[in-house]
Structure 1
Amino acid sequence: MTTVTETAADDVTEPDGAPVLSHPAAAERQVLLERWAERHGIAAARRLAEAEDLADAVAAEITPDNTVDTYAKSWRVWRRFCAAAGLPELEGSRGALVAFVTWMLREGQQNGKGYAPSSASTHLAAAVVGLRERGVKVSGDDQAEARVALEGLAVKLLQAGERRGRGQAVGADLDGLRAVARACPDTLTGLRDKALVLTGFHYACRSQDPAGLLTGDVTLRPRGLVVAVLTGKTKHSVRNAKIRYADDPEICPVRAYVAYRARLVDEHGPRWADPSTPAFVGIDRWGHVTGGVGPDSVTRAIKRISQRAGVPIAWTGHSLRIGLASTARRAGRDGIAIADQGGWARHSRSMLGYMQIDDGWDDNAAAGLT
């Protein structure tokens, strides 16, 4: 048989010459291929099939790793639901989707407890993606009805006094930053911790951002640091963030970073000044450098650092990001400038939500009416 593309060895042609795909996308794409063959001929249909394969490859390449992980986890949740309910995995009917969200809220976790509505919403969206990737047709109306059911059941939980999930992480603030700076010991680990928190706050980092930084991504300029954030999830979050010298030397992110890097090179050699080495390194209990740090290590470090400083509510990996938005807003900074610094889309809903922590008191429709 004649192959349709070199990249899909199992793609074949019908006896009449119309391309047929036998990989998982075949059921969804076959009608298009037959239509292309009728309209434009076999050769053009093959080229269009190759373009579809290229589009799939590009989509896979630009999908963030954490999104891929979420899809995989959600598909496992969907499979557990189907096994529990006795339903076929490759059917995404209205009833199956509504039953899925109901099951998730009531007993979906592996420990038998229900998911938080936000988690259930994520799993629903990702499960639908998984179904469609496997050639299952899921109508927008059916998915929308499942989401309406989810929202309605979530309201019932609130009315019953049941609040699930951890809620929004607490944001870092200036008092917390000062406490962190004072609690960091004068060791390489302490200097690294101080630099990690102070710089991360000033560019509203996610945990993966400092984990992905190389030495060459952080450059010292006359007015401060320029941090090339290359691990962002969107075109807005991939950016060159500028961090100025602070008026207060105690919590100056630029001084903290310079001091940390100087100690690292002094104690462990000039190779750590190479632009290809990690900007933030792992350090064991004996002071040995273990290499770079991962996002989970950054998250654990931020929690540990805040607890050591006696911050009333321990920070999470997202606290620095929330803190920049809320603190800058409280100081009167323009929303667009905050978005650009932190890598949000301008007028981002999540950024505005962080700002609402403070705006809810000052920019309040009921304030001063009585």
Structure 2
Amino acid sequence: MTLILEAAATGDLPEPGSAPAPLDPAAAERQALIERWAGRHGIDAARRLAEAEDLADAVAAEITPENTEDTYAKSWRVWTRFCAASQLPEREASRGSFVAFVAWMLREGQQNGTGYAPTSADTHLAAAVTGLRRRGVAVSGDDQAAARKALAGLEVKLLQAGERRGRGQAVGADIDGLRALARACPDTLAGDRDKALVLTGFHYASRSQDPAGLLTSDVTLHPRGLVVAVLTGKTKHSVRNAKISYADDPAICPVRAWTAYRTRLVAEQGQRWADPSTPAFVGIDQWGHITGGMGPDSVTRAIKRISARAGVPIAWTGHSLRIGLASVARRKGRDGIAIADQGGWARHSRSMLGYMQREDGWGDNASAGLA
């Protein structure tokens, strides 16, 4: 029966008298599922259901962002290091192993022997669970919950001991910072690129991958400003057409900065850069040569470099523009739904509300003016 069902699932018939090859846990689980389908519905229906499963796997692979896959791969390596250090089997999941995993991560999990920040440990736990399930390992929700409860309790212990780990939330961009950055940009193609990158990115709450993924055709002029088609988002909310208006202050106007950059790029580097299929933001080396389109890492490095050149008190990161839009728009009294739509958050998103950070805890203090 097993050989027949394998043929039903794959279309391959085994050689007469041959024994089936050993299956890994994931394949064994799929095989058992196909056998149950065949028993209930017949071999033809089992074949069609198996094909539907293959399609589902292909769709899942297609819609999973590359950076998410990178996280899964990195976290699985962390899990395998833990299992090797603890002499536990990799493909086994239990309450005790998960709790031991989070404790190990906080204590010594990093490659240099230091502990991870709790947020990083939480990410690795979730991704390791995904890795186990992908490999056919059954993971109990109760066991995961026990590990998360242990992680939360250990984080409190770290805070009580005065230990705060991790970089914390990136500093948010603000209007004074934008002015400083714009003034510090040199009168060169790279300087114009930097100014357009920061000013437009702030106004649509960009992540590093967003400007890196833009083509020239994704940024269009409109009588009232720019329309930026952001197609690199992870959710239906973050894939959007963000509208950017002309600013009252020409020095930090994103529309004027974009137009000046693109005009100079074509004038100095040739008409081919006006082609709609070319990258919106190009890499430029120290000699002024175009190196191709910018990637997410180069966008992050550029924002750090631009902010350092401007002398802002705390260097900006690739996420500073995103945080800044939410924070500044909230302080200016913009509606939360309008902020969410512009920045590609789900309405009433917890992360967006977190980005609406208070500068010093005094201006919007809940206890102020009550007595």
Deviates more, 1:153-162 or 1:355-364: 355-364
What CA deviation, in whole Å up to 9, does each residue of 1:310-345 have, x standing for no partner?
110000000000000000000000000000000000
**Residues 29/51 of structure 1: CA separation in 2 closer, same or farther (3 Å cut):** same
- Whether 2:158 is the aligned partner of 1:157: answer yes
Give the aligned residue type for 1:246: A
Deviation, structure 1 residue 367: 1.9
SS state at 1:316 partner: coil
Deviates more, 1:193-202 or 1:40-49: 40-49
Name the structure 2 match of 1:305.
Answer: 306
**Residues 113/287 of structure 1: CA separation in 2 closer, same or farther (3 Å cut):** same
Written as runs of structure 1 = structure 2, the 5 A alignment for 1:1-370 is 2=4, 4=6, 8=10, 22=23, 25-357=26-358, 361-370=362-371
Unaligned runs of at least 5 residues, structure 2 = none
Deviation, structure 1 residue 144: 0.5
Deviation, structure 1 residue 360: 5.2
**Residues 42/297 of structure 1: CA separation in 2 closer, same or farther (3 Å cut):** same
C-alpha distance in structure 2 between counterparts of 1:359 and 1:343, whole Å: 26
C-alpha distance in structure 2 between counterparts of 1:7 and 1:174, whole Å: 60
**Residues 21/273 of structure 1: CA separation in 2 closer, same or farther (3 Å cut):** farther
C-alpha contact (below 8 Å) 1:3/1:9 kept by paired residues: no
Deviates more, 1:2-11 or 1:64-73: 2-11
C-alpha distance in structure 2 between counterparts of 1:26 and 1:184, whole Å: 57
SS state at 1:271 partner: helix
**Residues 104/220 of structure 1: CA separation in 2 closer, same or farther (3 Å cut):** same
Deviation, structure 1 residue 41: 1.2
C-alpha contact (below 8 Å) 1:11/1:22 kept by paired residues: no
C-alpha distance in structure 2 between counterparts of 1:288 and 1:216, whole Å: 22
Give the aligned residue type for 1:284: D
What CA deviation, in whole Å up to 9, does each residue of 1:228-285 have, x standing for no partner?
0011111110111000111110100000000000000000000000000000000111
C-alpha distance in structure 2 between counterparts of 1:11 and 1:302, whole Å: 58
Deviation, structure 1 residue 356: 3.6
C-alpha contact (below 8 Å) 2:94/2:139 kept by paired residues: yes
SS state at 2:181 partner: helix
C-alpha contact (below 8 Å) 1:21/1:30 kept by paired residues: no
C-alpha distance in structure 2 between counterparts of 1:50 and 1:360, whole Å: 57
Deviation, structure 1 residue 119: 0.2
C-alpha distance in structure 1 between counterparts of 2:26 and 2:65, whole Å: 21
C-alpha distance in structure 2 between counterparts of 1:168 and 1:95, whole Å: 32
SS state at 2:356 partner: helix
**Residues 289/2 of structure 1: CA separation in 2 closer, same or farther (3 Å cut):** same
What CA deviation, in whole Å up to 9, does each residue of 1:151-210 have, x standing for no partner?
101110000000000000000000000001111011000000000000000000000000
C-alpha distance in structure 1 between counterparts of 2:27 and 2:281, whole Å: 46
The two structures, once aligned, show a CA RMSD in angstroms of 2.2
SS state at 1:282 partner: strand
- Give percent identity, aligned residues only: 82
C-alpha distance in structure 2 between counterparts of 1:6 and 1:106, whole Å: 49
C-alpha distance in structure 1 between counterparts of 2:254 and 2:152, whole Å: 42
Give the aligned residue type for 2:76: W
C-alpha distance in structure 2 between counterparts of 1:297 and 1:239, whole Å: 23
Deviation, structure 1 residue 42: 1.1
Deviation, structure 1 residue 362: 4.4
Deviation, structure 1 residue 364: 3.5
Count of residues paired in the alignment? 366
C-alpha contact (below 8 Å) 1:5/1:49 kept by paired residues: no
**Residues 5/48 of structure 1: CA separation in 2 closer, same or farther (3 Å cut):** farther
C-alpha distance in structure 2 between counterparts of 1:43 and 1:135, whole Å: 25
Deviation, structure 1 residue 3: 6.8
> What TM-score, normalized to structure 2?
0.94
